[in-house]
């Protein structure tokens, strides 16, 4: 059943100036639908915007698979940690700091990459092997 409107009728509608749903009075009607409204709060005149039907919730998407990247080796993080700890042979991993001098063979605990071992030093840069792979970091 279609809703009937008439000039002077009051209804709730969104107001651009008031920034919310407010009471409006119908100012003009064309073909049985309101065309212009007057806001009872601020007095602004604007177009009638009929209510839009609610959008149905979209079904969750499956995660996208990277098509260009080569697949990484499937080593479990726990196995990597076991191998690193076994190779560590009691050496203590120090927290990473760019102000510290890192030499080959030293162990570091990086806040983002985790446990890693310095593989090579080149002036102020060091290459460190982490679970994710080889990373280049700054050293003093």
Tell me the CA distances in angstroms from 120 to 4, 43, 50, one per residue in order.
80, 73, 68
Q: Is residue 81 part of a domain?
A: yes
Q: Is residue 28 part of a domain?
A: yes
Structure tokens at 49: 């915007």
Q: Is residue 95 part of a domain?
A: yes
Residues 41 and 83 placed together within one structural domain of the fold = no
> Is the CB of residue 91 less than 8 Å from the CB of residue 99?
no
Q: How far apart are the first and last CA of the chain?
A: 78
Q: Taking the chain (140 residues) in consecutive chunks of 10 residues, what is each chunk's mean pLDDT? A: 80 85 89 88 85 71 65 58 69 85 88 88 89 87
Q: Identify the CA nearest to 37 among candidates 61, 4, 15, 54.
A: 15
Residues 86 and 130 placed together within one structural domain of the fold = yes
Q: Is residue 21 part of a domain?
A: yes
pLDDT of residue 19: 83
**Domain span at 121:** 77-138
Question: Taking the model in full, what pTM does it have?
Answer: 0.40
For 25, other C-beta atoms within 10 Å of its C-beta total 15
Report the alpha-carbon distance of residue 34 to residue 37 in Å, rounded.
7
Q: Is residue 70 part of a domain?
A: no
When divided into structural domains, the chain yields a total of 2
Q: Identify the CA nearest to 11 among candidates 27, 107, 63.
A: 27
Residue 126 makes CB contacts below 8 A (sequence gap 6+) with 102, 118, 119, 120, 136, 137, 138, 139
pLDDT of residue 133: 85
Q: Is residue 65 part of a domain?
A: no
């Amino acid at each position: 059943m279609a809703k009937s409107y008439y000039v002077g009728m009051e209804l709730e509608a969104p107001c651009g100036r008031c920034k919310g749903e407010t009471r409006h009075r119908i100012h003009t009607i064309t073909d049985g639908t309101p065309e212009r409204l007057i806001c009872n709060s601020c007095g602004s005149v604007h177009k009638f915007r009929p209510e839009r039907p609610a959008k149905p919730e979209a079904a969750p998407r499956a995660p996208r698979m990277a098509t260009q990247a080569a697949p990484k080796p499937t080593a479990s993080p726990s196995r990597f940690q076991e191998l690193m700890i076994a190779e560590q042979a009691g050496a203590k991993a120090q927290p990473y700091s760019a102000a510290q001098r890192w030499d080959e063979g030293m162990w570091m605990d990086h806040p983002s990459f985790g446990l890693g071992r310095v593989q090579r030093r080149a002036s102020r840069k060091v290459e460190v092997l982490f679970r994710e792979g080889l990373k280049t970091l700054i050293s003093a």
